[in-house]
Amino acid sequence: MASLRQFLDGCSRWITCVATTIVAVRSRFASSPRVELVEEGSGEFSVRADGKVPGQRAEAARIRIVDGKVVGALPASLAAKLKASRAELVLQPGRFMFRPLELPRRAAEFLDGIVRSQVDRLTPWSAAEAAFGWSAPADAGSDRIVVTVVATARALVTPLVEAVAGLGADSIVVSTLAPSPGGAAAPVKVFERTVRGALELHRVRRTLVAVLLVAALLAGAAVSAQVVVGNDLEARQADVGRRIAARRVALRAGDASGDSALAALERRKRETPSSVIVLEALSQILPDHTYVTELRITGDKMQVVGVTRDAPSLIRLIEQSSHFTRATFFAPTTRSPSDPADQFHIEARIEPVFPPRT
């Protein structure tokens, strides 16, 4: 039971990780309109949305946020742009604490962990209670750098973020202007929240679970089909094997039907003369001055008709062959006045190529 619970927990973590990656990649490639809300004091914010067409004048309006609620209405076009947008909430520096932090230059690669661990020492809040960030590292000499840690209470930022989220923004970034050694104020991000990302994460996660369930069902069906088909094929193979074995036993034991069929084929092979062998034997026996014009094979008898210069000698040649016996003329030998050759008619008995078994 514990192993099953661990397996399910591992699957849940894997699905969450994949869903988070999908949402992050999708958010990176999806372009959302940018709307800036700049605090001007006493809870008043100026709202500006960039024009969609280059050179187009940006739209602007003013709202107030009191106790986490928006007071005042935005123009319809600006309210539409704020929905599904990336809202950048720029707060007054008076809401934040600024603390310089001097570090070795090599610590620039690990600023996230270093600043997070130093928030408790530099601010009145813990890392979980604070919304904080830091400025870009500045050269402090002697292989040292200095960063400005910017922090405020998360409870101070949350109502403002909730109010902007209520206007339909997809993501909200909270920042402020931190002083820099050069005198110019630089924006520092202290908080970011993705509103629709959680919903998308839940939807993607649910989709992945459904896909995995469908895949598991298909895999189970495939395994079941393989088992059923495999058993059927094994049964057929076993049946064919039994039939082959029975047939072999019958052949070895001299099965009557098998023996009779084999005997008939053997007898026919031995008793039926081969026309090819007859032609081959005649071509070797007959002299060059002899020409065959007709050849008939009936049963074990051969009749050959042709012309030759010496018909009687053919009887002797045919008798000397091992393929023929009882050679004789079955019709008179004739000669044409204009042709010196004899027209002969000879018949002979064909000897079997394979002698019958005794």
What is the per-residue DSSP string for 306-324?
EEES-HHHHHHHHHHSTTE
SS3 346: strand
Cα-to-chain-centroid distance, residue 298 = 70
SS3 43: coil
- The answer to whether residues 337 and 284 touch, using CB atoms and an 8 Å cutoff, is no
Task: Assess whether the region 11-203 and the region 269-350 belong to the same CATH fold.
Answer: no
Q: At the top level of CATH, which class does the domain 11-203 belong to?
A: alpha beta
> What DSSP state is assigned to residue 183?
S
Residue 131's nearest CA partner among 175, 167, 87, 162 is 175
Q: At the top level of CATH, which class does the domain 269-350 belong to?
A: alpha beta
Supply 90's token pair: 């720029």
Longest pairwise C-alpha distance within the chain = 147
Each residue's pLDDT, cut to its tens digit, for the chain (358 residues) gives 677 777 777 777 777 777 677 766 665 555 567 888 888 877 788 888 865 544 445 667 888 888 878 887 777 877 887 777 888 999 998 899 999 999 999 988 888 889 999 898 888 999 889 999 998 888 888 889 999 999 999 999 999 888 888 888 888 899 998 876 555 678 899 998 876 655 566 777 788 888 888 888 888 888 888 888 888 888 889 899 999 988 888 777 765 555 566 666 666 666 666 777 888 888 888 888 888 888 888 878 888 888 888 888 888 888 888 888 888 888 888 877 777 788 888 898 888 766 555 5
Supply 293's token pair: 């014009």
> What DSSP state is assigned to residue 148?
E
* Residue ranges of domains in the chain: 11-203, 269-350
Residue 326, number of CB atoms within 10 A of its CB: 11
The C-alpha angle 184, 185, 187, rounded to 5 degrees, equals 140
Distances (CA, A) of 280 to 273, 284, 312, 318, 353: 12, 6, 21, 13, 13
Residues 337, 338, 340, 346: what is their CA dihedral angle, to the nearest 10 degrees? -70
**pLDDT recorded at residue 58:** 60
pTM summary value: 0.49
